[in-house]
Chains A and B, each alone.
Chain A
Amino acid sequence: MLLEVKDLHASIGGKEILKGLSLTIKAGEVHAIMGPNGSGKSTLAQVLAGREGYEITAGSVSYNGVDLLDLEPEKRAQAGLFLGFQYPVEIPGVNNVYLLKAALNARQKAAGQPEIDAVSFMRLVKEKAALMEMDQSFLSRSVNEGFSGGEKKRNEIFQMAVLEPTLAILDETDSGLDIDALKVVANGVNLQRRDDRSVLLITHYQRLLDYIEPDYVHVLANGKIIHSGDKSLALQLEAEGYDALMAKAAG
């Protein structure tokens, strides 16, 4: 079991957002979480990545057998958890590659491995950039500064490719992308699918799942997973809408 979320309750500013969420992800699996706006999708991503400001009032999260909620955000990252941000952050004056090298070396260091040398690093970075059909000039620009929405998302998946996570949580990676950009991003994710890498896709629309085929689909509503199924569930949702399913769940 890679990730085991049990009866998770989380609130922010006294308001409960997650109300008993449970989810289990095994190594190599791709899960999609779908849900209407305000259902708690992004909160789940933030809580799993360790964003401060959320209060965990009940439940547990086990990651590779350790208590994930006990770890600082950087420790979670160093343990192979990657969050592809819905709104990637701009960091003026900080070179894209510089951040990536620091990130990679932090993980190397945590794993007791030597730092990667500059030549191997640049080779790796160029290879992954090509994979994401990114122009070399991306690498030396400041992190996300002046990037278009599509470029930012592409940059997230590029970072994922370099950091090679064990669990990638992709928060609305499809939002704001035109169809060409969506294909590139989806292709980038598909190329990274491996037996020892799990992916949690968080999305509002079924569209992304046309390109990245999940093993399981979960519907999140009002802070809980109300329905789980295979890929066909996404199509059903697309056809019937969230309301019908939520009414069914309530009834």
Chain B
Amino acid sequence: MSTNETDIEELVAKKYKHGFITDIESETFEPGLDEDVIRRLSKLKGEPQFMLDWRLKSFAIWQKMRQPNWAKLNIEPIDYQSISYYSAPKSPDDAPKSLDEVDPKLLETYEKLGIPLHERAKLAGVAVDAVFDSVSVATTFKGKLNDAGVIFCSFSDAVKEHPELIEKYLGTVVPPRDNYFAALNSAVFSDGSFVYIPKGVRCPMELSTYFRINAANTGQFERTLIIAAEGSHVSYLEGCTAPQRDENQLHAAVVELITEQDAVIKYSTVQNWYPGDEEGKGGIYNFVTKRGDCRGARSKISWTQVEAGSAVTWKYPSCVLRGEGSVGEFYSVAVTNNYQQADTGTKMIHIGANTRSTIIAKGISAGKAQNAYRGLVKIFPTAKNARNYTQCDSLLMGDQCGAHTFPYMEVKEPSAIVEHEATTSKIAEDQLFYCRQRGLSEEDAVNMIVNGFCKDVFRELPMEFAVEAQALMNVSLEGAVG
């Protein structure tokens, strides 16, 4: 029976909804990268000497490295000298203290993206550290967090106000020499978020940061550091949408998570950077290094990600399970359409005894997109009775896309139990027909099937994020039918 692939292709050819450019004057460095640029950047941000030294050391490391090419990605050469390494909204000196002081045009941008900052923060009880371009412009709910002793601020503020914490923890999970993009980020990171949850504190609200890219040719180099002290608990949400662009934009973020004994960090991401157009022109290059270090016994780090955007995604949120009985989790949905490429997965490094990890990865491929899962489960001889369960499922829509699975396992401890399951299925014409025969439109049928496929991951997301994620799936894959 012939499948209606043409229809499916039409169906997935939906235009990116968030394509617009905000007209705000930016103070932007001219393109290029050398030591002088890094000194200027550090000075502009009013950083202490240790920070500048760290950046310069990282830059020296980066210069000796080469861009990795092992991923299943076809990437145009990137000219790192044609990129501007700093862009900020006008007058960063008098950054607004409250929403009232924020440039109304900026607020309008948030409105268009469907995230009315104040409303959303109030209604959902979410504190938002809004990163627009590279400088934080608004932080809410500071008081409530202060009362709990939680530090949640922009990375720049943390460098100035808590230099001892930054100096102690920065780069201890992802050192500058870890990889090419981490080294670059360490040299030129612009801003990001910093979170410190003190001993025994359960963070009173979910912490959320919205990242946006808004200036042409400006790479975004976010740096996030979250520390959960003994017995503490925090849930952190990160979401992205970005205005439409013609040229590729480089994005190389680093996220470091640290849990002490019995602490829990839940880190959820919805990524919707501009993916490029139907011909594969434009779109964000997203090279992200995310790693969590379960240092304390019985601590837990859980990554949940919904990757819908970007032209290229290179991202492997990982857990180093050092503490005895610590737990690592990775739940992922990666959607690629048109000419998008994703090479994503995780690393679970079992060092401590009785450590456990779970990996659930769902890849959805449509159009001419390529979607790869790449994962490493490594069990050290010290990891007695370590356990891992991995499940990778791929869903193909149409016959011009690809799904690939690269699972690596290195088990050096005989008492460990490692399980791996993988499936690849095509969005079946008979599933679509079944739903349509019951009266659903083709579009609704596709949404229902895709959301069903993603269910195991979506249910790990905080409630309001799960709703957004479903909506995002629909936008990413639906099209103008009929």
Contact A99 B456 (CB under 8 A): no
Q: Please tell me if A39 contacts chain B, counting CB pairs below 8 Å.
A: no
Q: Please tell me if B98 contacts chain A, counting CB pairs below 8 Å.
A: no
Q: How far is the CA of A222 from the CA of B437 in the complex (A)?
A: 26
How close is A24's CB to chain B, nearest CB, in angstroms? 23
Q: How far is the CA of A63 from the CA of B453 in the complex (A)?
A: 36
Contact A94 B440 (CB under 8 A): no
Residue among B428, B429, B452, B456 with max Cβ neighbours from chain A (10 Å): B452
| Chain B minimum-CB-distance residue to A75 | B439
Mask, A1-44, CB within 8 Å of B = 1, is: 00000000000110000000000000000000000000000000
Number of interface residues of B (CB under 8 A): 28
Residue among B433, B454, B456, B482 with max Cβ neighbours from chain A (10 Å): B433
How close is B477's CB to chain A, nearest CB, in angstroms? 15
Mask, A151-178, CB within 8 Å of B = 1, is: 0000000010001000000000000000
Contacts of B441 in A (CB 8 A): 74, 106
Q: How far is the CA of A72 from the CA of B452 in the complex (A)?
A: 24
Contact A13 B440 (CB under 8 A): no
Q: How far is the CA of A106 from the CA of B438 in the complex (A)?
A: 9
Tell me the dominant secondary structure on chain B's binding face.
helix
Select A89's contact among B431, B440, B456, B482, beta carbons within 8 Å.
B431
Contacts of B430 in A (CB 8 A): 87, 89
Residues from 444 to 466 in B contacting A, C-beta threshold 8 Å: 444, 448-449, 451-456
Select B434's contact among A53, A88, A98, beta carbons within 8 Å.
A88
Contact A106 B428 (CB under 8 A): no
Residues from 10 to 62 in B contacting A, C-beta threshold 8 Å: none
The stretch from A77-85, A181-189, A191-199, A227-235 touching chain B is A77-85
Contact B451 A106 (CB under 8 A): no
Contact A92 B452 (CB under 8 A): yes
How close is A148's CB to chain B, nearest CB, in angstroms? 18
| Chain A minimum-CB-distance residue to B441 | A74
Contacts of A13 in B (CB 8 A): 2
Q: How far is the CA of A107 from the CA of B437 in the complex (A)?
A: 11
Q: Please tell me if B74 contacts chain A, counting CB pairs below 8 Å.
A: no
Q: How far is the CA of A142 from the CA of B456 in the complex (A)?
A: 12
Q: Please tell me if A149 contacts chain B, counting CB pairs below 8 Å.
A: no
Residues from 109 to 145 in B contacting A, C-beta threshold 8 Å: none
Contacts of A114 in B (CB 8 A): none
Contacts of B429 in A (CB 8 A): 52-53
Q: How far is the CA of A49 from the CA of B439 in the complex (A)?
A: 11
How close is A55's CB to chain B, nearest CB, in angstroms? 10
Contacts of A100 in B (CB 8 A): 438
Q: Please tell me if B240 contacts chain A, counting CB pairs below 8 Å.
A: no
Contacts of A110 in B (CB 8 A): 439
| Chain A minimum-CB-distance residue to B442 | A74
Q: How far is the CA of A92 from the CA of B391 in the complex (A)?
A: 15
Q: How far is the CA of A51 from the CA of B453 in the complex (A)?
A: 23
Residues from 214 to 231 in A contacting B, C-beta threshold 8 Å: none
Q: Please tell me if B480 contacts chain A, counting CB pairs below 8 Å.
A: no
Contact A93 B1 (CB under 8 A): no
Select B433's contact among A52, A104, A106, beta carbons within 8 Å.
A52
Q: Please tell me if B67 contacts chain A, counting CB pairs below 8 Å.
A: no
Select A83's contact among B1, B437, B482, beta carbons within 8 Å.
B437
Contacts of A142 in B (CB 8 A): 452
Q: How far is the CA of A93 from the CA of B429 in the complex (A)?
A: 17
Contacts of B448 in A (CB 8 A): 91, 94, 98-99, 102
| Chain A minimum-CB-distance residue to B456 | A93
How close is B438's CB to chain A, nearest CB, in angstroms? 4
Q: Please tell me if A73 contacts chain B, counting CB pairs below 8 Å.
A: yes
Contact B453 A92 (CB under 8 A): yes
Contact B452 A12 (CB under 8 A): no
Contacts of B482 in A (CB 8 A): 72
Q: Please tell me if A103 contacts chain B, counting CB pairs below 8 Å.
A: yes
Q: Please tell me if B436 contacts chain A, counting CB pairs below 8 Å.
A: yes
Contacts of B170 in A (CB 8 A): none
Contact A163 B434 (CB under 8 A): no
How close is B260's CB to chain A, nearest CB, in angstroms? 36
Contact B449 A91 (CB under 8 A): yes
Contacts of B431 in A (CB 8 A): 89, 91
Residues from 199 to 248 in A contacting B, C-beta threshold 8 Å: none
Contacts of A93 in B (CB 8 A): 451-456
Contact B433 A91 (CB under 8 A): no
How close is B1's CB to chain A, nearest CB, in angstroms? 4
| Chain B minimum-CB-distance residue to A51 | B433
Q: How far is the CA of A74 from the CA of B441 in the complex (A)?
A: 6
Select B439's contact among A53, A74, A89, beta carbons within 8 Å.
A74
Contact A49 B1 (CB under 8 A): no
Select B438's contact among A50, A51, A53, A163, beta carbons within 8 Å.
A163
A94 with B452: in contact, given A52-B2, A89-B428 (CB under 8 Å)?
yes
Q: How far is the CA of A199 from the CA of B113 in the complex (A)?
A: 50
Q: How far is the CA of A12 from the CA of B2 in the complex (A)?
A: 9
How close is A246's CB to chain B, nearest CB, in angstroms? 27
Q: How far is the CA of A98 from the CA of B4 in the complex (A)?
A: 25
Select A49's contact among B437, B440, B453, B455, beta carbons within 8 Å.
B437
Q: Please tell me if B435 contacts chain A, counting CB pairs below 8 Å.
A: yes
A77 with B436: in contact, given A52-B429, A93-B454 (CB under 8 Å)?
yes
10 nearest A-B residue pairs (beta carbon) = A93-B452, A94-B452, A93-B455, A103-B438, A106-B439, A77-B439, A89-B434, A73-B436, A53-B2, A53-B1
Q: List 19 A-B contacts (CB under 8 A).
A: A12-B1, A50-B436, A53-B4, A73-B433, A73-B436, A74-B437, A74-B442, A76-B437, A89-B428, A91-B452, A98-B448, A99-B435, A100-B438, A102-B438, A102-B448, A103-B435, A142-B452, A163-B438, A163-B439
List residues of chain A with CB under 8 Å of any chain B CB. Answer: 12-13, 49-53, 72-74, 76-78, 82-83, 85, 87-89, 91-94, 98-100, 102-104, 106-107, 110, 142, 159, 163
A sample of 7 more A-B contacts (CB under 8 A), given A53-B4, A83-B437, is A74-B441, A85-B437, A93-B451, A99-B435, A99-B448, A100-B438, A103-B440
